[in-house]
Structure 1
């Protein structure tokens, strides 16, 4: 089976799709990962076939004004104005991304690495179902957040307002409509009929329900969550450390020199002032008297003067989560889907400091599952508050036991294996 995987976004968005591609390869299939050129480093260590496409809207994050608006969740009138600007600027950029993906697809659409694909797997921001339609093969939407498939069980996690249960299903409509603006690029790129419902990736060209993969764990969803039978919640998709990866000697020495430290890392979009976050983190570690590994590699956290840091703090550019997290006493992070899943699988308690998008949802669900204290939104983060949460995470035996139990359940799901079984049934 040859699978063309189309995705876009930041590193954390792309990594689970790389994990799925690797698992497909290990299962004897061929998978081509088409993703932003900047994410090539995720594929290279594993020898995955990789087709770089334009970095698209990722390039907008370098604009300080846009970055601040994104990270404030577009609050206030100024935020709403910038949100409209981002949407307008993103559309032509996504058109470039989609054109690149059409070229990759081949098989009568272009002439590229995806030629002869039996199946197209795509993220929600990519109208990959239209590329699959042009190829004449099935399309599978692979989703990393529960924000695209309507359910009456709970409101859309991206809606920042409490809603009555009767509006749960309706709360998913705005995000479906948002995707129409991106889906429209297929109309000008592909020679396909403009049929009714063509922008809805939850429907096949014949109008029937499309297969959907949820790349996260059912154990974090609200109790009693229900989806239609074509929607499969497989478990998280974890990308393991490359077989050639070894820890830096100074990191190995730091870990061996004392008690397990606390991990602190906030991804690539942790706030508008990464140095402020760094100072808060270091002060919190001082207040708790613990050791810490502070990860700054993706820009979400920074330190003013690394050589002058206390010896209890080790600054790390990056390391594979599956290797690093089990060696920690607790995991302090921003609540991205992939990081939350990796922290769950490690069996370590968490402290989640969410900021934007789906992060508050995962933070709330980890707390409800008993593996994390109450969320600490980053816009209100203080050293004292972070220190108190860390003390709870490393000091409460009940939380540690629940983290162990949930880790076993999450690992047993084997998300990529479950996803591959579903994909194999479609060809």
Structure 2
């Protein structure tokens, strides 16, 4: 039977900050365009999204690959560890691509693509580009941050030498067609061997995009449109340079639906968010989390490292807690720590709590106070939009979602980046004047669990907090919040998708 409903596949891989913003767009698109079948393909680790997506009539499809790969840091033989990691990565990558192909094949099993079909990918789902080509489907890029990787310095020179005709094809492209700007901005990995062999051997496509699979000559007769690239950040925060491709659209930050951000369903029902007013009409948590609600009345400093633990950076959770303890011993600050699901960190917290005499019978199982109640450890999640306006400052890893939430709240930041786009956001926040100079990772996570290392880290962290709480940074953070107050990035993304597809 001929398929009548077009399909919109959102393919997003990586950590929560990489995936959830695209899931939010998928949910909004499904609500706006009910004639579509909407599907999200992501890691099984993000299965908590499934019920939220189901409520919005979005199908959740999982692949078994992990959101991040981290080498085994405990292997004493460095060479063997590296070799084992590369073999593991190769196997996981192969399995991941096979699963992606099987899912796309199942989704478009009729073999006939409709004009309205599309695949939306983030920068960690580049297999989606080649799969879209394989099944003759439009592909769109959507990312909550600028490209987290850059081409090697020798890329253009090597490309021109090895693929002179294709280089000419791209540099001489007519207006609106795929061109060299697209390649240098984000597409360059698609021309590397990493993707070329898979395209050729498994998908039976040309190893290089935009070339004939038989002759290898550029497809002069068929010049596709420059692909739409949507960014989930504000123009007030990130400038759009003239050298970017003309089809780049900066939408505004892609904030998640409020109801997705509660781990406690009772808190979700108790707190009512008024989207038209950008505030909580009922500013209460449930009775089980009354102590959390009371703690934030003292305007604490937030600390959260999100996925840093699962990436393998939090090697010594005890030294991290010791740094916070040292800061508490020399200042009047109070901290609220989100553990981000990092089990080793939560285990350390439970151990320290068990050694104290503090009566915890009145606390919920996901709330643990330490150090006379001045460090409040929370194992769940609540919306940053509820929490951050109540905090004096936000200390975080530079993830795009946390950065956006702190900007929206107008709360000063202290950023300690670890990988990829986190360094960009850390430098950008400092440049905007909403945070002091970025911290080095050893200023938050000391390499050694010694008294000297912990004292040095605590001293630097204390100075950064002091700077963040200055009137200059507070004022600047409030100014930026006011400028982005009325932006609705998700709605703008839906508008761009509809324009691309010719929808009303």
Taking a change above 3 Å as real, the CA distance of residues 128 and 388 of structure 1, as seen in their structure-2 partners, is same
Work out whether residues 57 and 93 of structure 1, in 8 Å CA contact, stay in contact via their aligned partners in 2. Answer: no
Q: Which residue of 2 aligns with 1:234?
A: 251
Post-superposition Cα deviations, 1:369-423, rounded to whole Å, max 9, x if no partner, equal: 01111101213431111122122223x1221121122123334332111111110
Work out whether residues 125 and 182 of structure 1, in 8 Å CA contact, stay in contact via their aligned partners in 2. Answer: no
Post-superposition Cα deviations, 1:27-67, rounded to whole Å, max 9, x if no partner, equal: 34443211111202134235242323223143744x53399
Matches within 5 A, 1:160-239: 176=189, 181-182=194-195, 184-190=197-203, 193-194=205-206, 196-197=208-209, 206-221=223-238, 224=241, 226-239=243-256
Matches within 5 A, 1:20-419: 20-29=25-34, 30=36, 31-45=38-52, 47-48=55-56, 49-58=58-67, 60-61=69-70, 64-65=72-73, 84=86, 87-103=89-105, 105-108=107-110, 118-126=117-125, 127-147=127-147, 176=189, 181-182=194-195, 184-190=197-203, 193-194=205-206, 196-197=208-209, 206-221=223-238, 224=241, 226-242=243-259, 245=268, 246=270, 247-249=285-287, 251-257=289-295, 258-270=297-309, 271=313, 272-299=315-342, 301-302=345-346, 303=349, 304-307=351-354, 308=356, 309-310=370-371, 311-317=373-379, 318-381=381-444, 382-394=457-469, 396-419=470-493
CA–CA distance in 1 between the matches of 2:207 and 2:198?
14
Offset, 1:362: 0.6
Taking a change above 3 Å as real, the CA distance of residues 379 and 96 of structure 1, as seen in their structure-2 partners, is farther
Taking a change above 3 Å as real, the CA distance of residues 358 and 195 of structure 1, as seen in their structure-2 partners, is closer
CA–CA distance in 2 between the matches of 1:171 and 1:228?
9
Scaled by the length of structure 2, what TM-score is found?
A: 0.68
Offset, 1:150: 7.5
Work out whether residues 2 and 116 of structure 1, in 8 Å CA contact, stay in contact via their aligned partners in 2. Answer: no
Residue 73 of structure 2 aligns to a residue whose secondary structure is: helix
Structure with bigger gyration radius: 2
CA–CA distance in 2 between the matches of 1:223 and 1:142?
15
Work out whether residues 191 and 208 of structure 2, in 8 Å CA contact, stay in contact via their aligned partners in 1. Answer: no
Taking a change above 3 Å as real, the CA distance of residues 91 and 77 of structure 1, as seen in their structure-2 partners, is same
Q: Considering only aligned residues, what root-mean-square deviation do their CA atoms show, in Å?
A: 3.8
Work out whether residues 20 and 256 of structure 2, in 8 Å CA contact, stay in contact via their aligned partners in 1. Answer: yes
Work out whether residues 72 and 85 of structure 2, in 8 Å CA contact, stay in contact via their aligned partners in 1. Answer: no
Offset, 1:97: 3.8
Work out whether residues 132 and 138 of structure 2, in 8 Å CA contact, stay in contact via their aligned partners in 1. Answer: yes
Work out whether residues 200 and 207 of structure 2, in 8 Å CA contact, stay in contact via their aligned partners in 1. Answer: no
Work out whether residues 255 and 261 of structure 1, in 8 Å CA contact, stay in contact via their aligned partners in 2. Answer: no
Work out whether residues 9 and 118 of structure 2, in 8 Å CA contact, stay in contact via their aligned partners in 1. Answer: yes
Q: Which piece of structure 1 moves more, 324-333 or 23-32?
A: 23-32
Taking a change above 3 Å as real, the CA distance of residues 404 and 36 of structure 1, as seen in their structure-2 partners, is same
Taking a change above 3 Å as real, the CA distance of residues 121 and 177 of structure 1, as seen in their structure-2 partners, is closer
Residue 14 of structure 2 aligns to a residue whose secondary structure is: coil
Offset, 1:177: 5.6
CA–CA distance in 2 between the matches of 1:2 and 1:424?
14
| Number of residue pairs matched by the alignment | 395
Work out whether residues 235 and 415 of structure 1, in 8 Å CA contact, stay in contact via their aligned partners in 2. Answer: yes
Scaled by the length of structure 1, what TM-score is found?
A: 0.79
CA–CA distance in 2 between the matches of 1:376 and 1:84?
30
CA–CA distance in 2 between the matches of 1:262 and 1:216?
25
Work out whether residues 261 and 291 of structure 1, in 8 Å CA contact, stay in contact via their aligned partners in 2. Answer: yes
Structure 2 alignment gaps of length 5 or more: 1-5, 152-180, 212-218, 271-284, 357-369, 445-456
Q: Which residue of 1 aligns with 2:22?
A: 17
Structure 1 alignment gaps of length 5 or more: 69-75, 152-167
CA–CA distance in 1 between the matches of 2:75 and 2:435?
28
CA–CA distance in 2 between the matches of 1:368 and 1:333?
17
Q: Which piece of structure 1 moves more, 90-99 or 175-184?
A: 175-184
CA–CA distance in 1 between the matches of 2:30 and 2:75?
36
Taking a change above 3 Å as real, the CA distance of residues 179 and 260 of structure 1, as seen in their structure-2 partners, is farther
Taking a change above 3 Å as real, the CA distance of residues 306 and 182 of structure 1, as seen in their structure-2 partners, is farther
